[in-house]
Amino acid sequence: MAAGFAHAQEAQQPDNDTLSRHTATGPDSPPNTEADAPVSNQAKSKSFIEDSHLNLLLRSFAEHDTFNTVRERDAWMLGAQAVFESGYTKGLIGLGGDVSLFGALKLNGGRGAGNQVHVASHGGGSNQLAWAYPGVWDVKACASNTILKYGQQLFNDPFLSPHDNRALPLTYRGFSLISDEIRNLTLKAGTVDAVLARGMTTLTGLTTEYAGTHVSRFTYFGGDWMRGEDTVVSLYGSIANDVWQQYYFSATQSIGDPKLIRWTGALNYYYTGAIGDKRQGSISNNAYSLALAGTHGAHTVQFAFQQIVGDQMFDYMGQSAGNYLSNSLDVDYNQPHEKSVSLSYSLNIKDYGVPGMKVTMWGAYGWGADGSAMANGGSAQAANYIVNGEPVHGTHYEFGIIPGYTVPDGKFKNTSIKFYYMYHHGSRYHSDTTSNVYRLMVNVPVNVF
């Protein structure tokens, strides 16, 4: 199945749409470009209690889907996240911890709704009315501008990007390290061994997204370098034990003034190669996308081309939104040898007198998929490349629209509402089926202290 739209929302923030991860625009806020070294965050620490925060995120999630005009699923959930983040103790190395309570109430949905509602460890559980659990907990240490955490966390990197298109987000259990010791360079590393998946209240083992191959541990490392508001370069590597090694490279460059026209180009590239016991077969796969966006005032238009170069599909870690290719949209356009193009348009209605209002729409088309090498190769993965009795091939296309509004100020500042409509049409022998998705997401953040 394809990665869900959202990754936000997926919210990743707490409500981002899929396109926001793949646009050719730079970071939301420019880095500090002063020449001197960054001021130590730990040196500015006040205390464990004085720097602590308690935040709530209340969410209404509703979705109606149809597949091949026959199978339907509906869900309407209310979700709540209460997250306490401590400050750090004073000293050379500061210590702290975070803890949260996640909860959800089902207003509609049941059999067939999958992880839109509750999923028990044995696979059932969809009839449960409400549930609560500690979604995030960790212990942490800070030295200078480097933070080390262990526990259940939200990760944000090109492999474990948050997939938050349900009532509650998923979290992974493991270590994470983020370092900003060098100005304009952020280094990240981490290792995880379990996931608290969407809809679940208990930890489960890691798997790959498409093949469903078990991964005992996943480890990543890398960094992001930024120069002003115009240039961003990222380089990461990762290891899924006994399955694959995967590398990611991206480069984004912007020129011009959006009052006239600002051009932004972006390259995203992944290489995946089998390692160890090769539990998912002998993988050697290259996947890349090229995007060019032009912004003039409130209007942004982007064109993107994407290609999978290899006999295997481009796969990534399960439950994550860890696919930063430009054409990871409603579906991923990630089958062997597949090529795809997309065209998107965004309108920021702030420039027309409605601050906080934005509309994004897009269309995409994929062709050239050829799963015959894997389907006929006699490997254990052959079944993943056969659809309706033939190797994966054919074309598919989609279009969608997301109007959204975020309250810009006042008592309900940052409250957001987004409506998603996505239509995808898949040909008979393609892996992605025909579907209609209607989704309404409302997020209400509350800062308690």
DSSP assignments along 48-93, one per residue: TTTT-EEEEEEEEEEEEEEETTTEEEEEEEEEEEEEEE----SSSE
Distances (CA, A) of 178 to 34, 124, 194: 21, 37, 20
Strands (DSSP E) found in 228-382:
231-240, 244-257, 261-274, 284-296, 299-309, 339-348, 357-370
Beta bridge partners of 84: 54, 99
* pLDDT at site 13: 36
Segments making up each domain of the chain, as ranges: 7-43+163-176+183-447
Beta bridge partners of 83: 55, 100
* pLDDT at site 377: 86
For 160-186, the pLDDT digits (tens) are 998 899 999 999 999 999 999 999 999
Report the sign of the C-alpha dihedral through residues 25, 26, 28, 33, in that order.
negative
The Cα–Cα gap between 278 and 71 comes to 36
* pLDDT at site 347: 98
Which H helix or E strand runs over 33? none
**Encoded tokens for 174:** 């493991």
- Integer-rounded Cα Rg, in Å, for the chain is 22
Other CB atoms within 10 Å distance of the CB of residue 123: 7
* pLDDT at site 22: 56
- Which residue has tokens 């659809």? 387
Domain 7-43+163-176+183-447 classification at class level: mainly beta
How much is the pTM? 0.90
Which residue type, as a one-letter code, is found at position 62?
A
| Segments in the chain below pLDDT 50 | 1-18, 20, 26-35
Backbone φ, ψ for residue 260 (5° rounding): -100, -85
Other CB atoms within 10 Å distance of the CB of residue 253: 16
Instruction: Tell me if residue 372 falls in helix, strand or coil.
Output: helix
Say if CB 185 and CB 31 are below 8 A apart: no
* pLDDT at site 440: 98
Which residue type, as a one-letter code, is found at position 23?
T
The Cα–Cα gap between 392 and 408 comes to 46
* pLDDT at site 32: 43
For 376-430, the pLDDT digits (tens) are 988 889 999 999 999 999 999 999 999 999 999 999 999 999 999 999 999 999 9
* pLDDT at site 102: 98
The Cα–Cα gap between 123 and 114 comes to 9
**Encoded tokens for 124:** 């059932």
For 62-71, the pLDDT digits (tens) are 999 999 877 7
Phi-psi region of 344 (alpha: psi -120 to 50; beta: other; left: phi over 0): beta
Instruction: Tell me if residue 374 falls in helix, strand or coil.
Output: helix
The Cα–Cα gap between 92 and 214 comes to 40
